[in-house]
Structure 1
Amino acid sequence: MTSEGRPLRADARRNRARVLAAAEQVFADKGTGASTEEVARAAGVGIGTVFRHFPTKEALLEAVLVDHLRRLAEHADTLADEGDAGAALFGFFTHVVRQAAGKNAYTDALGEAGVDVRGTTAEFGGRMRAALERLLVRAQRDGAVRPDVGVAELLALMVGVSRAGEHAGPEVQARAAEIVFDGLRAPAADIQVR
């Protein structure tokens, strides 16, 4: 949408999408300190095009973070309808943990710039939480996850394992996730026979 509330023209939508994709790649490769000029070069557009869509670097970082959360929510929605509920939940948990370093970098940079990250991400954070809850309920109904786990605990575990990876490395992060999964699984006696 334009600032007047009109939909973007097709070429403007394409340019915006190119800038977002390039920004995500540049920030992943070089960190959130990379310049908007580097993003413009990677997107194959002029710096004016970047600033037309994202007036500040913080606005660009915010848009990349929101787009990332939107894709995570869509992925969780897709998994909520797949066959093996336990595998879907644990697969999504692993996916979130692997991508967390980038998300955390955006969140930290925006927080340091004084941006209200919770307000910015509320819509897609809420969608992701709802999709995660559907995944959890299905996995519990199928007997793959213990019944006393709530979505709040699951999110806390995701955050903990994600942050651990930033300090201990990917091997420890993967091992920590497996330990968490063992704790989340329903005891063998509770598994329902279908």
Structure 2
Amino acid sequence: MRADARRNREALIATAGAAFAADGVSASLEEIARRAGVGIGTLYRHFPTREDLVEAVYRREVEELCAAADRLLAEHPADRALELWLQRFIDYAATKRGLIEGLRVIFAAGTGRLSDISGRISGALERLIRAAREAGLIRTDLGTEDVLHALTAIHAAPQGPDWRDRSLRLVQLVMDGLRCRA
């Protein structure tokens, strides 16, 4: 792919991610193209269907979230890396909320289009939890599944103008619980 085509594709994915997080997958493709600085034809050349664009946005979000785990572990103490990653998860969850209808269509088609990324998020979380546990910074009686359940509950909270702030407070509560008795 030429450099300009790669830039256009990345601009479309980034712009669509913001639009889907704000307006859901029914966001205007014409508006996404305009905000990305390209024509609608360019959008359709890269993403022939709305589901193709949804998939690309979702893949990018998962890849960025998972890559953040290793970067944060390299830059911070393990418990702080986990906390920052959980905060980053809230941003991922906000985008995923906007993508949910499009993801349902993709999964309902039964094509397995996203099967290669299943388990990546729990794998990243497991690395963070293992590092924090080994450093003696969090409890040893709670594991990845427990934290995933807490994240699922946070994600499922009713949408509202204060959802992100409330979710970040709940992440802090989860971290306080993980650090307790460490």
Provide TM-score, normalisation by structure 2: 0.85
Whether 1:82 and 2:43 are equivalent positions in the alignment is no
Q: CA deviation at 1:67?
A: 0.7
| Distance in 2 (alpha carbons) for counterparts of 1:150 and 1:83 | 20
| Distance in 1 (alpha carbons) for counterparts of 2:113 and 2:97 | 14
Confirm or deny: 8 A CA contact 2:12 2:43 kept in the other structure.
Answer: yes
Equivalent residue, structure 2, for 1:116: 107
* Structure 1: segments with no counterpart, 5+ residues: 1-7
Q: What is the SS of the residue equivalent to 2:119? A: helix
CA separation of 1:67/1:171 partners in 2, compared to 1, >3 Å: closer, same or farther? closer
RMSD of Structure 2 on Structure 1 (CA): 2.3
Whether 1:43 and 2:36 are equivalent positions in the alignment is yes
* Structure 2: segments with no counterpart, 5+ residues: none
Among 8, 11, 14, the residue aligned to 1:15: 8
Q: CA deviation at 1:77?
A: 1.7
Equivalent residue, structure 2, for 1:71: 64
Q: What is the SS of the residue equivalent to 2:25? A: coil
Q: Select the structure of larger CA radius of gyration.
A: 1
| Distance in 2 (alpha carbons) for counterparts of 1:82 and 1:24 | 27
Larger relative contact order, structure 1 or 2 (CA cutoff 8 Å, min sep 6): 2
Whether 1:127 and 2:146 are equivalent positions in the alignment is no
Equivalent residue, structure 2, for 1:183: 177
Among 41, 48, 56, the residue aligned to 2:49: 56
CA deviations on 1:47-73 (whole Å, 9 max, x unpaired) are 111111111111111111111111111
| Distance in 2 (alpha carbons) for counterparts of 1:46 and 1:171 | 36
Equivalent residue, structure 2, for 1:150: 143
Q: What is the SS of the residue equivalent to 2:137? A: coil
Provide TM-score, normalisation by structure 1: 0.80
Q: CA deviation at 1:11?
A: 2.5
CA deviations on 1:27-58 (whole Å, 9 max, x unpaired) are 23433211211111112212111111111111
Percent identity of the aligned residues? 39
Count of residue pairs the alignment pairs up: 179
